[in-house]
Amino acid sequence: MNRSRRLSTKLIYAFILTVFLVWSLFPLFWLAITALRPNLGPLQMGNPFVFSPSLDNFCSVLSGKNLLPYFLNSLIIGLVATFLSLFFGVLAAYGLARFNFRGRRLALQWILSIRLLPPIGFVVPLFIMFKALNMLDTPATLIIVYTAFLLPFSIWMLTTTIQEIPKESEEAALLDGNNHFQVLIKIVLPSLWPAMAAVALLNIVAAWNEFLFALVFTSKKAVTLPVAITAFLGDRGVYWGEISAAALLTAIVPVLLLLLVHKQLYRGFGHWGVK
C-alpha cells in the first residue's frame, strides 16, 4: 500500500514537472522553429512543422542589420547598472542589517514598495526630467534609470543575506580596531560573494531584457538590442523569422552568464532558502 502511494506521488510530481517544463520551454521551441524556417516574407504562410531548416534568417539579421552597436549599448549599460546597483546595494544592505535606527523597518518596506510599483508610472515624469537636462538618447540616462530600479531588489536580497551571517567575527574585528568599512571588506564580503553573484546575474538579465525605458528614452545613439529588434517590423507586416533569429541571438549573453556563474547562483539561492 505504501509502495503504491509513493509511486502515485512520484507520478503526480513527474506530471506536474512535465507540464511546467512544457509550459516554460515551448516558447523557446517555437522561437527556434520560427528562426530556422526559410524566410517566407511577412505575408506568406506555410506549415510551421514541415520545412527544411535554414539559416537564412540569421544571415539576414547579421548581414542586413548591424547589431554590434546595439549589442555594445546593452552590454555596457547592463554591466554598469549592475555594478552600481551592487555597490550601493551592499553599502545600504550592510547599514540596514547591522545598525538599529528609528524607521529601519519602514525603510526596508519603502525600498521594496518602490520595486513593486509599475514602471509605466515613472515614464512621463522621468521623460520630462531627462528632456529638461538634455539627457535623452544617452547611455547615462538608461544607466541611472536601471540602477534606480535594480537597487531596491539588490538591497532587499543582500540585507536578508547579511542578517544570516554571524556577528561574532565582525564584533571581534571591531574590537581589534577595525572600522565598519574595514569589517565590511574583510569579513562580510567574502561570505556575501555567492549572494552577490546571484543578484548580479538577475540584475544584468533584467537590464539586458528591459524594453520600456529603452524604447521611450532612446532613439538612435543609445538604442539597446530589445529595441533594435523592433526594426524588423516592416511596412508590409512582421518579419517573424528575422525577429525570432535576433531574439535567439540576444538570449546568448544571459545563457552564457548562467553557465559561467551557475554554481555561485545556486549557493546564492541557498542563502534565501531556495534549494
pLDDT of residue 47: 59
202 touches 81 (CB < 8 A): no
The confidence score (pLDDT) of residue 161 equals: 87
CA 130 to chain centre: 24
| pLDDT at residue number 40 | 57
d(CA 84, CA 147): 6
Give dist(CA 101, CA 107) in Å, integer.
Answer: 10
In the prediction, which pLDDT does 224 show?
A: 92
pLDDT at residue number 274 = 45
Position 234 scores a pLDDT of 67
pLDDT of 38:
76
Q: How many residues does the chain have?
A: 275
Tell me if 246 sits within 8 A of 61, measured CB to CB.
Answer: yes
Over the chain (275 residues), what is each successive 10-residue block's mean pLDDT?
A: 72 87 85 77 56 76 78 93 94 87 80 82 93 93 94 89 82 79 84 86 91 92 89 73 83 79 62 48
